[in-house]
């Protein structure tokens, strides 16, 4: 195992200050409670509980908030890597020291349509299929994915195993005999740069226009995104969420796990939808909505409190 020291950190990671003892080495990154003497670890917030864990950990390198120096004297026993955003600092240390970048490659079992446009510097995993679609540079598709035709995937996108992108949207009209005839789905899917998509998620193609996943959007596992959905930059869609057709989601939105959003509505920029919440009308910008049906969080909490009081 390779050993690193405080100079290596200074060289590779920015926006930090380093205090305490400078003569330690680290060879691994671990969770604080099961670290060894060569570990680098982190704490998110300075709480009494976290300070206790620091005193108990064997790790010598600790990434923490800058203000920790006021709370506890570790100058002689630890090397403190301090910043305003220790989570970000720690993840950059992990990336700089412990993540090996694999060379781009296409697995021999991948199946690629002759009319697909695959950039250079792309990874395509085992058994992944790519139709008449295009894949941008730096993009990584893991195995067992199925990319239909009419999908445009931008640069530096990561798609985990088992995803289906570009399947026909769910649209039907009832005919004279009470049967449903399927509405042809002729649009595509655009996935912009730096998007990440979790395992077994599905994104349907648009009906006449495209389904669009904006730059930097992060999508978790088992998420359903219906036809004609548009998701703005840097929004977060967590696991098992259902986004029905034609929903417009703004930028910087956070959707908690297993939420469900009815078709056609809009979610404003920087808003949050709580876990399991069922959004049935549009949500303005900068709000937190929660509940079934989703409502502003204060209203939700007052309802909860009211009910609790009634049945005591």
Could you say which residues in the range 49-68 bind a second copy, by CB under 8 A? Answer: none
Closest distance to a second copy from the beta carbon of 142 (Å):
7
SS3 91: helix
Reply yes or no: is the peptide bond before residue 293 cis, omega within 30 of 0.
Answer: yes
- Which is closer to a second copy, CB of 73 or CB of 286? 286
Piece of the chain touching a second copy by CB under 8 A; list 48-56, 60-68, 114-122, 183-191: 183-191
Known active-site residue 107: no
| x-or-dash string of contact with a second copy, 147-166, rule CB under 8 A | -x---------x-xxx-x--
Write down the H helix ranges in the chain: 6-12, 48-56, 68-71, 86-98, 297-310
* Tokens at 273, concatenated: 């939808």
* Distance between start and end Cα atoms, the chain: 59
What are the C-alpha distances in Å from 13 to residues 82, 178, 223, 310? 11, 64, 34, 55
- CB closer to a second copy, 74 vs 223: 223
Specify whether the CB–CB gap between 67 and 86 falls below 8 A.
no
The first and second tokens of residue 262, run together, are 């009815």
Among 138, 188, 250, 252, binds a second copy (CB under 8 A): 252
- Verify binding: residue 170, a second copy, rule CB under 8 A: yes
Contact with a second copy (CB under 8 A) among 72, 119, 257, 265: 257
- Contacting residue, 21, 121, 132, 218, with a second copy by CB under 8 A: 218
6-25: which residues touch a second copy (CB under 8 A)?
15
Beta partners for residue 135, in sequence order: 118, 153
Rule CB under 8 A: say whether 284 interacts with a second copy: no
Q: Dihedral (C-alpha) 69, 70, 72, 78: value to the nearest 10 degrees?
A: 10
In the set 142, 150, 192, 227, the catalytic residue is 227
Is there binding between residue 242 and a second copy (CB under 8 A)?
yes
Subset of 102-141 contacting a second copy (CB under 8 A): 107, 109, 111, 125-127, 129
d(CA 25, CA 27): 7
- 296 is a contact residue toward a second copy (CB under 8 A): no
Catalytically active residues, by annotation: 227
């Amino acid at each position: 195992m390779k050993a690193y020291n405080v100079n290596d950190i200074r060289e590779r990671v920015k926006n930090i200050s380093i205090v305490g003892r400078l003569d330690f080495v680290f060879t691994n990154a671990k969770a604080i409670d099961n670290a060894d003497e060569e570990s680098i670890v982190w704490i998110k917030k300075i709480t009494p509980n976290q300070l206790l864990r620091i005193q108990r950990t064997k790790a010598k390198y600790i990434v923490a908030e800058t203000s920790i120096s006021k709370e506890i004297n570790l100058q002689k026993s630890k090397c403190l890597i301090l910043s305003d955003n220790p989570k970000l600092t720690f993840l950059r240390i992990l990336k700089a020291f412990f993540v090996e970048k694999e060379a781009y490659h296409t697995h021999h079992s991948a199946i690629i349509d002759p009319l697909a446009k695959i950039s250079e510097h792309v990874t395509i995993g085992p058994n992944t299929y790519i139709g008449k679609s295009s894949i941008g540079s730096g993009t990584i598709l893991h195995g067992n994915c199925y990319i239909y035709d009419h999908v445009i995937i931008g640069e530096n996108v990561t798609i985990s195993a088992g995803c289906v992108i570009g399947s026909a949207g769910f649209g039907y009209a009832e005919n004279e005999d009470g049967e449903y005839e399927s509405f042809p789905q002729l649009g595509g899917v655009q996935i912009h740069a730096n998007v990440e998509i979790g395992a077994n998620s599905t994104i349907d193609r648009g009906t006449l226009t495209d389904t669009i996943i904006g730059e930097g959007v992060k999508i978790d596992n088992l998420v359903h995104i219906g036809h004609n959905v548009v998701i703005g930059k840097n929004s977060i869609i967590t696991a098992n969420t259902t986004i029905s057709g034609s929903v417009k989601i703004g930028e910087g939105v956070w959707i908690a796990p297993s939420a469900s959003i009815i078709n056609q509505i809009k979610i404003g920029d920087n808003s949050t939808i709580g876990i399991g919440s069922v959004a049935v009308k549009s949500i303005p910008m900068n709000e937190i909505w929660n509940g079934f049906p989703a409502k502003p969080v204060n209203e939700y909490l007052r309802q909860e409190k009211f009910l609790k009081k009634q049945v005591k």
